[in-house]
Amino acid sequence: MSGASKFAVIGGSRGYDLLARHSFGEETDSFELDSPFGKSGIIHSFGGETPFYFLSRHGDFGYEITAPFVNYRANIWALKLLGVERIISWSQPGSLVPARAPGSFCVPDDIIDQTRNRAGTFYKNTGLGFIRLGEPFCPEIRKSLDGGLSSAGADFRKSGVYCCTEGPRLETPAEVKMFRKMGADMVGMTLAPEAFLAREMEICYASVCMMSNFAEGIKKRPFKKGELFEGMLTEKESAKVASSFELFPEIISGALGGLAGMERACDCGKAMERYRKAGKVGDDLLDDIRSFGE
C-alpha cells in the first residue's frame, strides 16, 4: 500500500465501476485483508486531493453477493485495521414517499433495523456493545454530504429515516405500509448492521442515499417480465436514476474534501469509552475482539 488514508467509501459494484472511470485513475492499490470474520477486498485511491479506500459490498465484478450475505463484520474490521476514521456509505433504497422520486437523494439521520439473521455486533457472548445511538449517523459526515450534494446540484433532502430489511426479496405492499406508519422514508437492505458495527469500532459513518425506485404499492406499476425491478420504474424515472447515478463521484469528492479539513469533534470516536474506563477494552479494539473469539 502507498501511504494511508483516514477515509473510506463503501458502495456497490456499480459504484466501483463509476469511480474507476472518474476517481481512481492509475494511482491505486488493490489488495485483500484478512480478519477473524473473513476476507475483504479493498481499493486504495491515493492520486487525488483526498486519498480514500473503496470497498464494494456486493463484489467487484457485478452483483455477486446479496445484502443479507455481505460480510459486514469483515468489511468494517478491515477498514479499522487500515486506520480509517470516517466512512461514507452509498445506498440505493426504494422511496416510501411519493414526493421523493427515483433519482432524488437523501442524507438519512435515523434508521429502523428490520433485519433478522445478520451478525450485528463484534461482541458476541460478552457483556459489551451496549452503545447509545441517539445519532446513528455521524453529524459531521452528514454535513459534508450536504455540501457535496449541493455542489453537485443534486435534488436532495437533508434528513430522513432509512428502514433496513433482510432481503434479498423486495418488500410486500403491506410491509411498505407498515414501514411508512413506523416513520420510514425509504427502504433498503444495506445500512444495518453496517452503521452499528462502525460505531462499535468508533468509526464515524453516514450514508448518502439515492432513491432507486418507488417501493411496492407507493405507485401503481404493472409487472414487466425480465426488466430491472420488473417494471417498478418508468422510462423517465429510469433515465433520471441513471443521470443521478453519474453524480456519485462528484458528490463523494465534494464530501471528502469537506471532511479533509474538519477535525473529528463528534461523539462517534468515544462510543466504547465507558468500557475503556472500566478496563474492559483498551485502545486497540481489534486486539480486544481477537481475545474474545468468535
Q: Is residue 21 part of a domain?
A: yes
What pTM was estimated for this model as a whole?
0.94
Q: What domain range is 59 assigned to?
A: 7-90+102-166+187-210+245-292
Instruction: Give the tens place of pLDDT for each residue, 130-183.
Output: 999 999 999 999 999 999 999 999 999 999 999 999 999 999 999 999 999 999
Task: Please compute the mean of the pLDDT values over residues 106-116 and round it to a whole number.
Answer: 98
Q: Is residue 162 part of a domain?
A: yes
Exposed/middle/buried for 257, CB within 10 Å: 0-12, 13-18, 19+? middle
Residue 137: which CATH number? 3.40.50.1580
Nearest-angstrom CA–CA distance, 123 and 128: 6
Nearest to 159 by CA among 90, 195, 107, 210: 107
* Distance set, CA 185 to CA 30, 34, 90 (Å): 36, 36, 16
Task: Quote the distance between the C-alpha of residue 278 and its chain's center.
Answer: 31
Exposed/middle/buried for 279, CB within 10 Å: 0-12, 13-18, 19+? exposed
Q: Is residue 35 part of a domain?
A: yes
Nearest-angstrom CA–CA distance, 209 and 146: 12
CB atoms within 10 A of CB 290: 12
Q: Which three cell numbers stand for residue 80?
A: 479499522
Looking at the structure of the chain, the number of domains it has is 1
Q: Of 5-19, 103-117, 182-196, where does mean pLDDT reach its minimum?
A: 5-19
